[in-house]
Structure 1
Amino acid sequence: MKEKKRRYDLDWFRVIAILAVYLHHIGMPFNGDTFHIMNEDSSKLLDDIMVFFEQFRLPLLFLISGTGTIYAFSKRTWRQFLKERSIRLIIPLIFGVLFIVPPQTYYEHIASYGSYLDVYKSGAFETNHLWFIENLFVYSVVLIPLILFLKSPKSDSVMRFLDSISAKKYGILLWVLPLVIITMLLKQIYPSDSKAITNLSSTFYYGYFLVAGMLFASSNTSWTHLKAYRKFNAIAFILSTVIFYGYYLLPNAYITPYLSINARWNVWYLVCGFLSWTLITTVLGYGQIWFYKKSRFLQKCNEAIYPFYILHQTIIVILGYYIIQLELPIVAKIAILLITSFPVVILIYRLLIYPFKIPRLLFGMKRN
């Protein structure tokens, strides 16, 4: 497998996707869903907006991780790759579970604990928002045979077939059909929305995007087709958005007489799958025009974004616990949480992580 040329558009989208995760978690205490800390009042409008962005922030991140997996493998043997994945994923995961996540557990159940040390005494250790790191490592290990296959000449016929499909204007949209079918089938057995690796409906859903990223990275022409058909994909995305909100806002009373609850959920999975796929294929096309240049700012952001991801939710929960108790409107609380949490995360990164060898290792960063 030839060493891949660095894709600056994917670096940008990695940064944007994780910032989208950060903004999503900023809104979580106020949207009426379940989170570690919850404001007394909630905003239905905020929830309606967030459900839209939920459809592609993580799928985009997994797809980019899939392309990154192929790029990382192109410079290593499978043993070297496994070692690199272990250092950059397992070490931060263990450190995070032991020291980054416990404050979230404490503030979520603060009334049940006499002190912070009670979290450790209770053994209440969770991966929490670091599930992404855990799942990415499992994918990386399990998919090594697939990567080796893509690396070998045996994959040539498969890649030619996929390239022939992608060469057609509508072809790249067909890639979403297996995703929807797999989701519908697995949701019958694993209906939970849990992100645990054992919840196969979620694992296969995000895994599909990761594998799609691997296939894009292994293809000779997929990126060219994504760029060439970006306007077509953008139109498909707009239509998917209209259909998504049309179905989301449609009162149940209008469709209950005609569709069973299972059928309604299947339609939802179909709508969500097409929205996710069309948005991602659109931005991957336009990204080759908008974000193709190297920049010093991007380099700094790309280096910081992994520690930022590990830290951000804990800072949001700690600060948010006190902010939601203020007698202020939801908009004001969100603004305060945003303008306080972001600089705190950046300061921790710059002062306590970036300059030092051991913290860099613990947060998955490369050596200086």
Structure 2
Amino acid sequence: MISADQPTPNLSHPRRNTGSSDHLARRYDLDWLRVIAILTLLFYHTGMIYVSWGWHIKSVEHSQPMEEVMRWLHRWRMPLLFFISGAGTFFALRKRSFGSYAGERVRRLFVPLVFGMFVIVPPQIYIEWLFRGRFSGSYAEFYPEVFNFQPYQDGGTGGAFSWHHLWFICYLFVYSLLSIPVFRWLKREGGQRFTDRIGRLISRPGGAMWLVGFLLLNDVVLGGFFPNETHALVNDWAYFMKNLILFWLGYLLISRRDFWQTITDQRRYFLIGTLFCTVVLYSARAVIGEDAIDKSQLLTTLYSFNGLGLTWFSVLATIAYGYRYLNASRPILPHLNEAVYPFYILHQTVIILIGYYVLTRTQLGVYEGFFAISFSSLFACVAIYLCLIRPFKVTRILFGLK
């Protein structure tokens, strides 16, 4: 993950009058939002046990209200994290050369990804195989399956080699390296003229909302060929490009201090847009029905466009209200900001281990089970971080900490 690092002066474009305070600013709100988004992921992934969508372990009981809440969260949580990561990249590149930035991305993203694929993810696959009756032996007997390098497939089929929830780290690593030429260009005269044009657009009332056009264009060009999210990198191009665009927009809209205030001043437009798209999302499902939407190309396209509007407007609203109300440091924030990355790496494995015990050894209902798994997983992740990760240099490196 990339934090909103303290920037250093950039004198490459002295003609841009952004104000001297631009060089001293730190976006504490981005740190708070990152913590909130990743904490939300813990509850979201616990909820996957109790909804009708496929996942690694499943309760026989489902919660429709939980599923409807998660339907909205799915359109907000990861896009927000990619936007924040792009914003953090801007601050990181104010302190580093592109070469040192690339090296840091290898250390803080690629190393934890490889470590996670061989250490953190395999227990999830083992538990899923036990749960589905595919395997009955010990973990020691299962683990050599990982080194067959046969890719995992949904539903517990296929092999035992996967990045599972660490797809986010994989995508972020690829985005970071692929984007270096883009960020280099944005620092040059042509890129600054492009940024000027973006500035003129967003200065209009609700102008930043029009940037959703980049997401809509991606959906038109690639959505029909790659309609489903796979998180598999090689056959996930519509989703891959969608999040790359959000990553770039995060960088771009944080790159000038006057953009920060412009977006914040227009926060009510973004909130209204979010509420409108939310109403359309649930009304379409209730009135038209999901089956009818799926059978009509026009309705499918409009429904998809509304979902992208919801994503972009909710991200803008979150960033705007965050800057308005959360841009302040607290003594606990540096500790939380450091902990969220290993917390993200750990959380799904812990949820599946605890969830398996709750589903197979207790009679807890949907909501009792949800809260038991969620808070037990939260406490377990905190304990592992404090006792096994934070104090030791080796584990800090493996979990991407400085």
- TM-score w.r.t. length of structure 2: 0.87
- Measure the CA separation in 2 of the matches of 1:254 and 1:289: 41
- 1:185 to 2:221 alignment: yes
**2:29/2:327 contact within 8 Å kept:** yes
CA distance in 1, matches of 2:398, 2:295: 49
Distance 2:284 2:258 in 1: 35
Match of 2:44 among 4, 20, 24: 24
CA RMSD of aligned residues (A): 1.7
Correspondence for 1:101: 121
Give the aligned partner of residue 262 of structure 1.
297
Distance 2:320 2:68 in 1: 27
- The equivalent residue for 1:119 is 142
Inter-partner Cα distance in structure 1 for 2:295 and 2:74:
25
Of 143, 148, 157, 2:193 maps to: 157
Name the aligned partner's letter for residue 236 of structure 1: G
Question: What is the CA-CA distance between 1:171 and the residue it aligns to?
Answer: 1.0
* 1:315 and 2:338 are equivalent in the alignment: no
Distance 1:169 1:245 in 2: 27
Alignment equivalent of 1:133, drawn from 163, 169, 178: 169
Q: Which residue of 1 aligns with 2:106?
A: 86
1:1-368 equivalence runs, <5 A: 2=10, 5-110=25-130, 111-113=133-135, 114-123=137-146, 124-198=160-234, 199-252=236-289, 260-325=295-360, 326-366=362-402
Question: How many Å apart are 1:90 and its aligned residue?
Answer: 0.7
Deviations along 1:23-59, one digit per CA (max 9) or x if unpaired, are 1001011011111110112122211111011111000
In structure 1, list runs of 5 or more residues that go unmatched: none
Q: Is the 8 A contact 2:358 2:364 kept in 1?
A: no
Q: How far does residue 254 in structure 1 lie from its aligned partner after superposition? A: 9.9
**Conserved in 1, the CA contact under 8 Å of 2:42 and 2:378?**
no
CA distance in 2, matches of 1:86, 1:328: 43
Deviations 1:220-255 (A, max 9, x none): 432121111112221222222111211232333996
Q: Distance in 2 between matches of 1:16 and 1:253?
A: 31
Cα distance in structure 1, aligned partners of 2:228 and 2:328 = 41
Report Cα offsets for 1:141-169 as digits up to 9, x if no partner.
Answer: 11100011112233121011000000001
Measured in 2, the distance between the counterparts of 1:156 and 1:339 equals 47
**CA–CA distance in structure 1, aligned partners of residues 232 and 254 of structure 2:** 27
Give the distance between the partners of 1:311 and 1:190, measured in 2 at CA. 30
8 Å contact from structure 1 (residues 150, 218) kept in 2? no
Give the secondary-structure state (helix, strand or coil) at the position aligned to 1:197: coil
Q: How many aligned residue pairs are there?
A: 364
Name whichever of 235-244 and 110-119 sits farther off.
110-119
* Change beyond 3 A, Cα 1:253–1:20: closer
Query: What one-letter code is carried by the residue in structure 1 that aligns with 2:170?
Result: E
Mapped to 1, the partners of 2:177 and 2:248 lie a distance apart of: 13
The aligned amino acid for 1:207 is: L
Contact 1:184 1:269 in 2 (8 A): no
Stretch deviating more after TM superposition (313-322 or 283-292):
283-292
Which secondary structure state, in structure 2, belongs to the residue aligned with residue 129 of structure 1?
helix
Deviations 1:192-222 (A, max 9, x none): 2212222101101111111110111223432
- Structure 1 residues 53 and 253, CA, compared in 2 at 3 Å: closer, same or farther? closer
In structure 1, what residue type is equivalent to 2:138? S
Cα separation, 2, equivalents of 1:192 and 1:346: 34
Give, in whole Å, the separation in 1 of the partners of 2:220 and 2:283.
20
- Per the normalisation by structure 1, the TM-score is 0.95
